[in-house]
A and B are shown apart, each in its own frame.
Chain A
């Protein structure tokens, strides 16, 4: 029982990452009709916002310490952190440790701008082009972004730890009446889950309760009619692209402490996020979220030792197996709308 609860928590955690990425992807997919192969790259850029913030905050200059020597026998150069010079040792240390939460403030505007730039500079010209061309151009863009990151930061993963206040685990089982230490769950993963839930709720509320959101939803359903009503749907679409980029970016920032970012993490998530979106059903935001959590939880269950013992290799294929079963039993995924991306 305790194992099942742990795996549900794991599933919710993985699921929230999948759901966030898929949410952004399906906004671009559903509203703009663009197959965006650079979406994984946006997620990766988000994670690197955390890395960059942490690097900026721990910017340092060298002071030569004559008393010690480095590996070649030359005098050792000691790093001195600017923040510690400016704010004092302790405060500076705290600022550096809180790099990831601080990165959120940095990432939101950056990612929105990246989204705007991408849409205005490139994607805009591809609305009327075949999906094949969209795939080629966005895949090319994803390669370029990835290579720039690799060139700047190397291929090795870069640790970006959560603030010390969130390291360690919560004894989750106690709340459910288990003995102490049976269900331990890392604080940061719980934070990630609640943070994702908030963002998802925020996006839904925005689309549901604002006029802007209403217009966008109308545009998703019937772009032409909305255009005929004299509404400049293009401008709103630019904004939606920025929003999607920001959601992907936030998913990335917060994910950085869970899995150390490296330049290819976008590609790792790309295929998975497409599967999530399609299983959820094209053009459906709730579908994408539901599919994200469903696949996350099933993936976690499938990797339990008892399950693997019975069905070796099931952990490797579970996501794809579930995708096939769902797409064959429900023609448009969980909640897909008719006629979106079906031809």
Chain B
């Protein structure tokens, strides 16, 4: 199917199914129940899962295949966002041109940064990319305020008048796709369950499927083989008359464009940009997502992105009152003890939980979350292990 092998087609179908059914899968608990806190099937978070999934998949194309660890990838995401919001402010509120502009501009920046940074390898390369990204962040925050809005960032205002199809009644323009707004949702109530199908999410999901498909094709292509060759032995490549830099630069630009796509989608889903999305912690986050999920695997980065965004948005919202509700069935004294034991790990302590999770995963699942998935899969169908191994095509990270 679409030039994929049978195994890859299966994987692609699985991802397709996950994206399409996410509103059901992420909302397993009935509304109003104690567990509803863990539901993640609301538009904003679903969009974030998908967008950061794209970002991580693109990052993995560079890092997972070539082993080049860029520590400044968030800069391309930020650049893409700025490009997209300017396109919406000036040209049209339709998201498609915005996203395209984001990809192109981010790709152009990646070309420049990559061309310079790829003159070095290993940690020297990482620090060069970090330095470029930090410079872009610092400038967006301060001296470039007229273009970037400084700390406050940019939003669509009611004074913005895009060339095509801006609102005429003085209201604030909304991002749309040929008139259908990103915020449009359809709700389905089944018993106590409430499922939300959001247009913006499905548009982002479409791009994720596209990005994922491309990533499979690149993994399986001769170009992908070349990138792996860069990772395993650059010298030998040189001897055979190949120029590794051409391949790594292409990979760098492609992954920069993925980041730009993610940035453009972020603006499309929520029309605002702030410079902190270019800060080194944001670059570090995508590195962590990729490694957490399993660098060099196809599914890993998406899982890693989902995991981190889930922690950030769900765990951080649990507060003491909710804990008391959960444990209300216990006798009073015991309830307080349990609550005070759990309390440090939720709400404002979500970073602690995340730190512990990172350590546990890397200690017990050296291949990241993907390996965890494989182990579970093994348990279920011991006789068919070969299949699952291959479907996710794990190559060790470096």
Q: Decide if B134 is an interface residue (CB 8 Å cutoff).
A: yes
Asked if A66 is at the interface of the complex by the 8 Å CB criterion, the answer is no
Bound CA span A140–B344, Å: 16
Asked if B127 and A323 make an inter-chain contact with CB atoms under 8 angstroms apart, the answer reads yes
Docked-complex contact B280 and A271, CB < 8 angstroms: yes
Whole-angstrom CA separation of A212 from B234 in the bound complex: 36
Instruction: For B281, give the chain A residue with the smallest CB separation.
Output: A267
A341 touches B127 (CB 8 A): no
A297-319, CB < 8 A from B? 312-313, 316-317
Among listed B40-48, B135-143, B194-202, B221-229, interface-contacting one: B135-143
Interface digits, A14-39 against B, CB 8 Å rule (1 contact, 0 not)?
Answer: 00000000000000000000010000
**Are B349 and A313 within 8 A (Cβ)?**
no
Instruction: For the complex, give the distance between the alpha carbons of A252 and B161 in Å.
Output: 53
List, in ascending order, chain B residues with CB within 8 A of A278's CB.
Answer: 123-124, 126-127
Partner of B143, one of A132, A139, A140, A312: A312
A201 on the B face (CB < 8 A): no
Q: Smallest CB-CB separation from B134: which chain A residue?
A: A320
Binds B, one of A79-87, A91-99, A102-110, A144-152: A144-152
Q: Are A147 and B396 in contact (CB under 8 A)?
A: no
A130 touches B284 (CB 8 A): no
- Chain B residues, CB < 8 A from A6: none
Task: Write out, one digit per residue, whether chain B residues 138-160 have a CB within 8 A of any chain A CB (1) or not (0).
Answer: 11011100000000000000000
* A residues in contact with B357, CB < 8 Å: 140
Complex interface: chain B residues within 8 A of A143 (CB): 351-352, 354-355, 358
Q: Which residues of B contact A242 (CB under 8 A)?
A: none
Task: Tell me whether A137 and B359 are in contact (CB under 8 A).
Answer: yes
Q: Tell me whether A141 and B288 are in contact (CB under 8 A).
A: no
Consensus secondary structure, chain B interface:
helix
Residues of B within 8 A of A137 (CB): 358-359, 362-363
In the assembled complex, the CB of B146 is this many whole angstroms from the nearest CB of chain A, namely 12
Quick one: closest A residue to B119, CB to CB?
A328
Chain A CB within 8 A of B34 CB: no
Interface digits, B321-352 against A, CB 8 Å rule (1 contact, 0 not)?
A: 00000000000000000000000100001011
Interface string of A116-153 (1 = CB under 8 A from B): 00000010010001111101110111111011100100
Question: Which residue in chain B gives the minimum CB-CB distance to A336?
Answer: B124
**Complex alpha-carbon distance, A154 and B349, angstroms:** 12
Interface size on B, residues (CB 8 A): 49
Looking at the assembled complex, report how far the CB atom of B249 sits from the nearest CB atom of chain A, in whole angstroms: 16
Query: Which A residues touch B354, using CB under 8 A?
Result: 140, 143
Give the Cβ gap from B63 to chain A, nearest Cβ, in Å. 8
Chain A residues, CB < 8 A from B63: 132
Contacts of B356 in A (CB 8 A): 140, 144
Question: Is B131's CB under 8 angstroms from A275's CB?
Answer: yes
Chain A residues engaging chain B, CB cutoff 8 angstroms: 35, 122, 125, 129-133, 135-137, 139-144, 146-148, 151, 267, 271, 274-275, 278-279, 282, 312-313, 316-317, 320-321, 323-324, 327-328, 331-333, 341-343
List of 10 A-B pairs having minimum Cβ-Cβ separation, nearest first: A143-B355, A140-B358, A313-B143, A147-B352, A316-B138, A320-B131, A144-B355, A140-B359, A342-B122, A341-B123
Report 16 cross-chain contacts, Cβ distance below 8 Å, ordered by A residue: A132-B63, A133-B291, A133-B397, A136-B362, A137-B358, A139-B358, A140-B356, A144-B355, A267-B281, A271-B280, A274-B130, A278-B126, A316-B138, A317-B134, A320-B135, A328-B116
Please report B residues at the A interface, Cβ cutoff 8 Å: 63, 67, 69, 116, 119-124, 126-128, 130-132, 134-135, 138-139, 141-143, 234, 280-281, 284, 287-288, 291-292, 295, 344, 349, 351-352, 354-359, 361-363, 366, 396-398
